[in-house]
Amino acid sequence: MSLKIEIIGLPASGKTFFYNNLSKKLNLQKKNYVRVINLKNFFIKKYLKTKTGASLLKKYAYKIYIKNVQIKSKFLFKKEYEDLNLFIKDNLKKNKNYRKILFLYKKYVNSSNYSSERKSRMLKNFEIDFLGFKFLNNNSNFLVFDEGFFQKIYFNFNHRNKSKFNLKDQNDYLKLVPSPNLIIFIDTNIKTCLKRSKNRTDGFLYDEKILKNLKSIYFNKSVTEFAKKSKIPIIRLNGTKNIKKNLQIFFERIYKIKN
């Protein structure tokens, strides 16, 4: 049995911290029935193995560029970027639901007040993660994703923009994207998330208008409601608790499922 596990929670709730510590623990203890998965890395491995218009050497160099800089390249790896886009386009055609999924995710992205460049990056990362999931090898018993498709719409932008990603859109999206079999919900108070966010040098940053109005709803409750209706188990962890305690709770639940 292959169990797909997704971590969800607000920005700065402690998702990445939990994921990184889980990864370290798995490497030390060599629990081969659990694996952490980065969908982008999985996609790139598949791309490197597939015959395309770009040379293998340049593709490997482009891989380093993607990892350390960004996917898009107008100059140094322009040809490789075009080659990658063609590879993405050809593979997305094979999924009959993808146009509808992308339409809904675009609606979500456009509900944000991000720059057009950042929105473009979000859409490209979505395509890559979607294909990474499709290329996934399901040999391991438990696969933990660094960011799955439920998390991709978890933060709510509607209080910032006239463009709405309404409840129907959210549920339609959740019905179409790959679903996890188990959710790890890092449940951290919004005030704590805001405080942590201020100390960040990169990643998601809450804006000042949010800081002034803590009564706004910052998450799409539809994600957890959909999971409950779909009978997807949710392990709720407090993001302010000791990481050892949270990992202990995680492994206790996983061990019960495994046995």
> pLDDT (tens digit, 9 = 90+) per residue, 129-142?
999 999 987 666 78
How far apart are the C-alpha atoms of 122 and 126, rounded to whole Å? Answer: 6
How far apart are the C-alpha atoms of 169 and 172, rounded to whole Å? Answer: 5
Which helix (H) or strand (E) is 187 found in, with range? Answer: strand 182-187
- pLDDT, residue 73, reads 85
The residues spanned by each domain of the chain are 3-258
3-class secondary-structure state, position 148: coil
pLDDT category at 231 given cuts 50, 70, 90 is very high
- pLDDT, residue 1, reads 59
Query: Phi and psi (nearest 5°) for 11?
Result: -55, 135
How far apart are the C-alpha atoms of 1 and 258, rounded to whole Å? Answer: 9
Listed in sequence order, the residues at least 6 apart from 134 whose beta carbon sits closer than 8 Å to its beta carbon are: 91, 95
> CATH number for the 3-258 domain, one of 3.40.50.300, 3.40.50.620, 3.10.150.10, 3.30.70.1400?
3.40.50.300
Q: Is 35's pLDDT higher than 80?
A: yes
Helix, strand, coil shares, percent, the chain, to 5? 50, 10, 35
pLDDT category at 8 given cuts 50, 70, 90 is very high
- pLDDT, residue 26, reads 86
Higher pLDDT, 95 or 141: 95
Edge-first strand listing for the sheet containing 142-145 = 34-37, 142-145, 3-8, 182-187, 234-238
How far apart are the C-alpha atoms of 90 and 53, rounded to whole Å? Answer: 13
Q: Whole-structure pTM over 0.85, yes or no? A: yes
How far apart are the C-alpha atoms of 31 and 27, rounded to whole Å? Answer: 8
Average pLDDT over residues 80-104: 92
Q: Is 114's pLDDT higher than 90?
A: no
Calculate the CA dihedral of residues 87, 89, 93, 99 and round it to 10 degrees. Answer: 150
pLDDT tens for residues 240-256?
999 999 999 999 988 88
Residue 45 CB neighbour total at 10 angstroms: 14
